[in-house]
Homo-oligomer: A and B are copies of this chain.
């Protein structure tokens, strides 16, 4: 099978590196363009990127020459790990030029015609791409966003409970440092210490969750009507965001029923067959002290969400903890899964549907 060429924007940063790591050996996609800052442009990737993940950059990417942000790209599929400012205009320009852009940047997430896609949760939001193309006159291009990394485990855990009616949601996160990129947080702040504040994340929790759990009516997303209160804190953990969740439901299911809902939950076809989809989107851990970031973040190759500690909340009815890997499921891995879904749904022209069908 011939693979689809992909480009990575912001390739030398922390999330960019995760894209390159996760795409190594991908059955459908192959990285052939890496885009960095002006300082990096023209250098071999291995030299331009200070590799911060384990081991060294994969050989396939190490030799690529870094392109500048404004250089034209030939890859039909583009992953964006750009900083917010750079993302605003560049992502839209690339989509207009015919590229399908899957972005992890927050810049364009809340645009009305940009899906905040989490395939297991809201695959039907992909229909917004038709709206995009119609309204913006895009020919083959598209822009697909994924949410903030802290929102994802919350929405994954809530989706099977939407049938009970979700009224109010109280969230307190304990977030890993990789969420702030590299160098990101100073070691002087994160040894024998925590930070009670994560700039910008609380409002993202309170808005993006409503959009992701909303319904697509053929023209736009109607946000879920739910009240969300979020507190975001930072802890000395490398990867893995844990969120302490209290939720109020319209109905009053038994605790055991909720666990059954989580364990039985599966994504709709064709999602379970996508290369990056975990075998099971959720796992419920019985041990009283789980999930834990270091021990559970890599479940399902970092794409599974782990839940534990379901019990009654005297105020909102139910409380529990959810965790997922913030730079895999919560960033690069989700963007790749989004692209896989867009590919099999026919939104990426260069993708050879027949061969894919075989692969599936």
Contact = CB atoms under 8 A, between A and B. Distances in A.
Contacts of A298: 54-55
Contacts of A168: 315
Nearest to A245: B231
Interface residues of A, number: 62
A13 B31 CA distance: 42
B55 A196 contact: no
A186 B185 contact: yes
Interface string A30-56: 000000000000000000000011111
A191 interface: yes
Given A235-B236, A236-B235, A188 B296 contact: no
A55 B314 CA distance: 31
A319 B231 contact: yes
A2 interface: no
B172 A182 contact: no
21 contacts: A14-B188, A54-B298, A55-B299, A174-B194, A174-B233, A177-B188, A183-B185, A184-B186, A184-B188, A185-B187, A190-B190, A192-B293, A193-B295, A196-B289, A196-B290, A196-B291, A197-B289, A197-B309, A206-B314, A229-B316, A233-B242
Interface string A143-187: 000000000000000000000000010101010011000111111
Nearest to A297: B54
The oligomer's copy count stands at 4
Contacts of A236: 187, 191-192, 235-236
Contacts of A228: 314
Interface in A278-315: 285, 288-296, 298-299, 308-309, 313-315
Name the 5 nearest CB pairs between A and B, nearest first. A183-B186, A187-B190, A172-B172, A192-B192, A193-B294
A321 interface: yes
Nearest to A186: B183
A177 to B, nearest CB: 4
A237 interface: yes
A231 B312 CA distance: 11
A238 interface: yes
A292 B229 contact: no
Given A246-B170, A314-B228, A321 B196 contact: yes
